[in-house]
C-alpha cells in the first residue's frame, strides 16, 4: 500500500508539473480547443445539410465527442516524446521516481486537457442545436464514459510517445490512424450503410461503442432514414465500451511501462 501511495503522490506531482508548463505555454492548447470547432462547423453545416439537417447535427454530436477523445491521443504522444527528446526525462531518471509514476503523471495531466476539449465540443453541440433528452444521472453517466475512454486512449498515446524516436515521428504515428478510426465508425453515419468489410469493422469499433453509448445516455434521436444496425456491440454499447477501455488501459499501460524501462536502462 505504501508503494502505491508513493506512486500516486509522485504521479500527482508530475501531473501538476505538466499542467504548470501548459499554463506557461497556453498556445499548446490551441489545437485541442480549435479542432472541435472546425469539425463541428465542417461536418455540421458543410455535410450536415445533405444528411438530415438539424436532426443530423444533433446525431453527430456524439461522434464529435468520440472523435475529440480519440484525437487527444496525439497530445499525450507528442508531450511524452518531447520530454524524451529534450532531456527532461533523463533528469527524472536521476531521481528516485517510479517509472509508472512518470507515465501516469503524463496521462493524468493530458486527461485534464482532453476534458477541456470535451467541454468545447459540448458547447459546439449546443450551438448546433443538440440537447440531451435524458435525466441528470444519464448525462453524468455519459460524460463519465467519455472520461474513462479518454484515459484509456491516453495510454495508447503514451505507448506511441515512448516508441517514437522523436517528436516528428510521434506526430505521424499519433495522427495517421485517427482519421480512418474516427470515420469508420458510427460517429457520423450508420455502420449498416458502410460497404463490404467496413461495416463489421465499424460495428465492433470502440469509437462506435462510445458514440452509441453517448446517444443512449443522452437520449439522442437517430435520423429516420438511417439504417438500424444489429449485433451485441450495438445493443450493449456501455458494457462493450467499458470492456474496450479496461483492455486498452491494461495492455498499453504494460507496453508503455515496459518500453520506458528498457529506454531507461539503455
Out of 108-112, 202-206, 259-263, pick the least confident. Answer: 259-263
User: Is pLDDT of 240 > 90?
Assistant: yes
DSSP 8-class letter at 98: -
Comparison of pLDDT for 31 and 225, the residue scoring more: 225
CA dist 266 and 163 (Å) reads 14
Please report, to the nearest 10 degrees, the dihedral formed by the alpha carbons of residues 206, 210, 213, 218 taken in order: -170
Residue 250 confidence class, pLDDT cut points 50, 70, 90: very high
End-to-end alpha-carbon separation of the chain, Å? Answer: 30
Distance CA 67, CA 210 (A): 10
**Is it the case that residue 211 has pLDDT exceeding 80?**
yes
Q: What is the pLDDT of residue 96?
A: 64
Please say whether the beta carbons of 219 and 141 come within 8 A: no
Q: What is the pTM of this model?
A: 0.89
- Tens of pLDDT, residue by residue over 67-122, are 999 988 888 888 888 877 776 666 666 666 777 778 888 888 888 888 989 999 99
Q: Which three cell numbers stand for residue 34?
A: 480549435
- % of the chain beyond a pLDDT of 70: 89
Domain count, the chain: 1
Least Cα distance to 222 among 133, 138, 155 occurs for 133
Q: Provide, for the chain, the percentages of residues in helix, strand and coil under a 3-state DSSP scheme, each rounded to the nearest 5.
A: 80, 0, 20
Best CA proximity match to 167, nearest among 261, 242, 80, 257: 80
> Range of 183's domain?
2-265
Contact 191, 207 (CB under 8 A): no
Residue 1 has pLDDT above 60, yes or no: no
Instruction: Tell which wins on pLDDT, 5 or 61.
Output: 61
Rounded to the nearest integer, the mean pLDDT of the chain is: 84
Q: What is the dihedral of CA 30, 33, 36, 40, to 10 degrees?
A: -100
Question: Residue 20's pLDDT band (boundaries 50, 70, 90)?
Answer: confident
Amino acid at each position: 500500500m505504501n508503494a502505491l501511495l508513493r506512486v500516486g503522490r509522485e504521479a500527482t506531482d508530475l501531473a501538476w508539473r505538466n499542467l504548470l508548463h501548459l499554463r506557461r505555454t497556453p498556445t499548446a492548447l490551441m489545437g485541442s480547443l480549435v479542432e472541435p470547432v472546425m469539425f463541428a462547423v465542417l461536418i455540421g453545416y458543410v455535410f450536415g445539410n445533405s444528411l438530415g439537417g438539424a436532426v443530423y447535427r444533433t446525431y453527430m454530436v456524439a461522434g464529435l465527442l468520440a472523435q475529440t477523445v480519440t484525437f487527444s491521443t496525439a497530445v499525450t504522444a507528442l508531450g511524452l516524446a518531447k520530454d524524451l527528446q529534450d532531456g527532461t526525462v533523463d533528469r527524472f531518471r536521476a531521481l528516485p521516481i517510479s517509472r509508472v509514476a512518470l507515465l501516469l503523471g503524463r496521462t493524468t495531466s493530458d486527461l485534464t486537457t482532453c476534458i477541456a476539449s470535451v467541454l468545447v465540443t459540448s458547447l459546439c453541440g449546443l450551438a448546433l442545436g443538440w440537447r440531451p433528452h435524458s435525466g441528470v444521472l444519464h448525462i453524468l453517466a455519459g460524460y463519465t464514459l467519455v472520461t474513462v475512454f479518454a484515459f484509456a486512449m491516453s495510454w495508447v498515446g503514451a505507448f506511441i510517445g515512448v516508441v517514437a524516436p522523436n517528436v516528428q515521428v510521434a506526430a505521424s504515428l499519433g495522427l495517421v490512424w485517427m482519421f480512418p478510426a474516427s470515420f469508420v465508425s458510427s460517429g457520423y453515419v450508420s455502420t449498416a450503410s458502410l460497404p463490404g468489410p467496413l461495416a463489421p469493422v465499424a460495428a465492433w469499433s470502440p469509437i462506435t461503442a462510445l458514440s452509441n453509448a453517448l446517444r443512449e445516455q443522452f437520449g439522442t434521436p437517430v435520423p429516420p432514414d438511417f439504417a438500424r444496425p444489429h449485433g451485441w456491440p450495438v445493443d450493449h454499447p456501455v458494457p462493450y465500451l467499458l470492456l474496450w477501455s479496461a483492455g486498452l488501459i491494461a495492455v498499453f499501460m504494460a507496453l508503455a511501462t515496459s518500453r520506458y524501462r528498457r529506454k531507461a536502462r539503455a
